[in-house]
Amino acid sequence: MRFLLAALLLSLSLFAQKQPNGLINEESPYLQQHAYNPVDWLPWGEEAFALSKEKHKPIFLSIGYSTCHWCHVMLEESFEDERIAELINRYFIPVKIDREEMPHLDSHYQQLFLKLKKRSGGWPLTVLLSEERKPFYITTYIPPSAAYGVEGLDTLLPELGSDYQKQPELIARRVNAIEAIIQTKHAPLDPDKAKITTKTLFNAFEKMYDDLYIGFSISPKFPEASKIALLFDLGKLGDDDAQKMGLEVLRTMALRGLYDHVEGGFFRYSTDAAWEVPHFEKMLYNQAELIPLYVKAFHLTGEVLFRDVVKETIAMTEEHFGREGLFLSASDADSDHQEGGYFIYTNEQLKGAIAQNSHAKELDEAIELYEKGNFEGKQHLNFYTEQRPQGFASLQKALKELRKGRTYPFIDNKVITAWNAMMVEALYAASSIDPLYVKKADDALGSLLKTMFANGHLYHQSLYGKKPFQAGLLEDYAFVISTLLKAFETTYEKKHLLLAKELTEKALTLFYKDGTWVQNSEGMPVSVDLRDKYYTSSFGRMMQDLYKLASLKEAPKYAAIATASLKLHLRELEERQADVPSTAIAYLMQQYGVVVLKHSSKTLQEKRQAISTIRFPYLLSKPDKSGLYLACTIGACFAYDKKFTVIKEQIEALSKR
């Protein structure tokens, strides 16, 4: 009888743990990962806000995403722990946000974290909010008990929860102090006094550059595609050292552990200074933003490595992320509960694959095999050479064979408009290497617009196979417009330019308020963020779009809006320089101008490779029937000739201002 009673109590306990919380009806894969936690989670929204006021409890806000490793750690350590869950539920109204669903809200709190901590945040992000949704505490990962020099949830929650109830004046002081920091604005800067030049921008790169291991920080190291894009622009404006630096970073990332040498594609970041061991997530936006840079690198150098990286990365993305012309958002780091399990090998496996290779000596010299491995007793592949060693193709094939039977990491089946647009633009860029990518890009653009564009409105995201309902954000409009402009330049189909103009007008209506830009059109307005830490700033890209559209459509009003918008952020741009690279690119477009090269569409297509060699970064192309090469800025053509070499020289002269 006693045994039966114990078994009954155990079964009841297990059943109770499986009761769903307020996330059970959410579509987000990340929120679904928490739908059976003992924490009484609610999604961000009016129900949670009302309950916070009704119960006189602060909000425990947790922001993450489905393929975030440390989010999984906090989930298993704390949110699935009855003891920690009870503390959260007792003192707070717990709220979960998927940062990929609501990147504007994530951006808002990441900007707050930066202002308070003087460093970038990350995920999971934890924010404690008053009933009025005013923050009074912010941090990232928190262990269940004190560890890593960080106070644990088991003491932090009762302390702050009790303060909220018993010492409201203390919480009010914290709220007011944070509010004062939030309200701090950059003082306006007279454009004539702005110290922002190609020289100051490259000097900023030199100060942050790790010339030992290569990259823009010590560790962790992120790809930071926008920085490399700016370096290439500086290179075309005459700074050869900038171009050399950009190529050096791309080559290093392609040869070290940030790159998946077996199947292609880049991991999200490297955990160490030397790019050897990555965090094994793969994000769609990383592939999409790096592909065009490797295309440029190939055209600049002719190095086969850069071309192969483009083709391999596209193939990997299509295989693992592609779904009927659309692309899913990300894959996890873990496989069968082991971080990096799908990607790493034992030393015996690697030695065996190398021994069977006819170029075993070259491979041995290119790969450093540590006795105990370089990641949790196993080995993640790196090459310590300037190019891939002989025998690489055979080794790649052998290692791919060893992955058969392994479980590929979880893939978040979210379709995000902005990230899909980036990938489509990457395919158009890659068409200069292989024209077959034009068809792939056209099909993908068609699928994206069919799925995410209806009745003149863009939508932000949806699960694959489901109808979208979430209104598009500035990032969605900015990246789709950018892709349409690239599509026009690749195919010269007028429909792309017309739709780019239509979406620009819509974006101005939704996100350009009283002379300033916001990231969202619904809910709490979130100011734009100039940082390009993980992927390109939507503000920076939108400014670039405006200058390009102004030139292609000969519509000065778009350039005027971009110039007025940049003026408001000049102080921040001057202070941060290369740390806000996409905005810096827009500023250089304003300073140097955007040139449109015109001729017949046939001639422009035939000269595509030659046009790409012109040393001026802000060069677009558009068909014209004059029979001459024309080089034009908004409203006027400053050069014309029958010879391409002549027009090339006149355009390149603009870089020498």
Over residues 161-187, the mean pLDDT reads 89
pLDDT at 10 over 50: no
* Confidence grade of residue 17 (pLDDT, cut at 50, 70, 90): low
Model pLDDT for residues 445-495, shown as the tens digit of each residue: 999 999 999 999 999 999 999 999 999 999 999 999 999 999 999 999 999
User: How distant, in Å, are the alpha carbons of 277, 310, 469, 600, 619 from that of 489?
Assistant: 38, 20, 31, 13, 11
* 415 and 561 together in one domain: yes
* 192: in domain: no
In CATH, what number is assigned to the domain containing residue 58?
A: 3.40.30.10
Whether the CB-CB separation of 415 and 361 falls below 8 Å is answered with no
Q: Note the pLDDT of residue 459.
A: 98
* 172 and 218 together in one domain: no
* 321 and 384 together in one domain: no
* 176 and 73 together in one domain: yes
| Whether the bond into 468 is cis, omega within 30 of 0 | no
* 258 and 172 together in one domain: no
In CATH, what number is assigned to the domain containing residue 430?
A: 1.50.10.10
Q: What is the DSSP string of 162-216?
A: HHHHH-HHHHHHHHHHHHHHHT--PPP--GGG----HHHHHHHHHHH--TTT-SS
SS3 446: helix
Both tokens of 498, joined, read 């017309």
| Whether the bond into 124 is cis, omega within 30 of 0 | yes
Distance CA 520, CA 127 (A): 21
The number of folded domains in the chain is 4
Distance CA 546, CA 539 (A): 11
Please name which of 161, 74, 168 lies closest in space to residue 126, comparing C-alpha atoms: 74
* 439 and 574 together in one domain: yes
Tell me 123's DSSP state. S
Structural domain for 399, as ranges: 343-403
31: number of Cβ within 10 Å: 23
* 538: in domain: yes
The tally of CA atoms less than 13 A away on the side-chain side of residue 162 is: 7
pLDDT at 311 over 80: yes
| Pairing of the two strands 93-98 and 42-43 | parallel
* 575 and 557 together in one domain: yes
Model pLDDT for residues 627-649, shown as the tens digit of each residue: 999 999 998 999 999 999 999 99
pTM for the whole structure: 0.93
* 567 and 651 together in one domain: no
* Confidence grade of residue 9 (pLDDT, cut at 50, 70, 90): very low
Last residue within a domain, chosen from 552, 572, 592: 592
* 246 and 323 together in one domain: yes
* Confidence grade of residue 359 (pLDDT, cut at 50, 70, 90): very high
* 612: in domain: yes
Model pLDDT for residues 237-293, shown as the tens digit of each residue: 999 999 999 999 999 999 999 999 999 999 999 999 999 999 999 999 999 999 999
Q: Note the pLDDT of residue 150.
A: 85
* 311 and 437 together in one domain: yes
Using only the alpha carbons of the chain, give its radius of gyration. 26
Alpha helices in 356-435 (DSSP H): 360-366, 392-403, 417-430
pLDDT at 558 over 70: yes
Model pLDDT for residues 501-544, shown as the tens digit of each residue: 999 999 999 999 889 999 999 988 999 999 997 899 999 999 99
Last residue within a domain, chosen from 154, 182, 210: 182
* 235 and 260 together in one domain: yes
* 354 and 232 together in one domain: no
